[in-house]
Amino acid sequence: MSEFVTSDGVKLHYELRGQGRPLLVCQGGPNATYRHLPEHLLEIESDFRLVYSDYRGSGASASAPVETYTVERLADDLDELCIHLGLDRVDVLAHSMGGFVALNLALRHPSRCRSLALLAATPVGRIWKLAPVTALALGPLRIAKLLVRTLIYFGWWWWLRDSPERTKARYAMIMSMQEPRRRAQGLYREEAQGFVLNDNAPVLERATYHTDLTSSLREIRCPALVLYGTRDAVFVAGALFLAWGLPNARVAPLRGLSHLPYLEDRPQTIGAIRAFLSEAC
């Protein structure tokens, strides 16, 4: 585990694992760190040198001025980390909110990215744009569950001060759109225990709902894997936008899986990622 200082003076924590071609990992969030990922990506370490880091304001990295909590700045931080490590070109593996960071890295620093593996990612967070396909992916029963949990959250939790309990209630509402099959729900609950109240979380969460990179996707020329669970409603919609916009996209739906497919079916998920990275030379 190591640290480096960005060009604007923020100390960031990073960790290198494995050997081989460099693979930059962009974790989801914002109420998360990278800590849960290495155990799920062990199989990749034999062929790739994985570069993990906590975003500014997350985990072991230092807090920063609030105005710098943007996905663009997070992407620039990762570019500076690559320079610090002497990495010319890297493959990028991104999950969930990390997709916004990875896409911005490819747009702002195109020579840095050899390939993008986008797992449960979207180029747009605007609700009105995602809503039609999301509703179709949800179906009537899950829409009803979402409405009930939304009423509970806004009726009880919304006006209270931020706390771990309030965060979990918000994620219960969101889980209605990411609902895994019953056999995987226990795994999701265990993963949720790792949620943390990162300093950057409120700002980044608001920012993602206003992000829309769809008009810029054509500028990303590197090979891209769009990997998503078919029960992960919002990211079913996001995958469509990625497939339409990225010129060199390969789309791979994971049938019956949800937002954390590496928990639900690790062999299938890691196998798809490894196959794509092996071909993206």
Q: DSSP of 113-137, one letter per residue?
A: EEEEEEES--SB--HHHHHHHHHHH
Residue with tokens 């609950």: 189
Query: What CATH number labels 2-126+203-279?
Result: 3.40.50.1820
Locate 78 and state its tokens: 């990762």
Domain ranges of the chain: 2-126+203-279
Does this model's pTM top 0.75? My answer is: yes
Q: 280, 277, 180: which is closest to 235 by C-alpha?
A: 180
Residue 115: pLDDT band with limits 50, 70, 90: very high
What 3-state class would DSSP assign to 18? strand
The shares of helix, strand and coil residues in the chain, as percent rounded to the nearest 5, are 50, 20, 30
Task: Report yes or no: 117 and 93 within 8 Å, Cβ to Cβ.
Answer: yes
Residue with tokens 């960005």: 6
251 vs 71, 179, 233, 236, 247, CA distance in Å? 24, 21, 16, 11, 12
Locate 65 and state its tokens: 């001025």
**pLDDT for 77-108, tens place per residue?**
999 999 999 999 999 999 999 999 999 999 99
**pLDDT for 122-155, tens place per residue?**
999 998 999 899 888 888 888 888 778 788 777 7
Helix (H) or strand (E) holding 205: helix 201-208
**pLDDT for 44-58, tens place per residue?**
999 999 999 999 999
Question: Which amino acid would we find at residue 247?
Answer: P
193 vs 187, 221, 241, CA distance in Å? 10, 38, 31
Q: 29, 60, 12: which is closest to 205 by C-alpha?
A: 29
**pLDDT for 214-227, tens place per residue?**
999 999 999 999 99
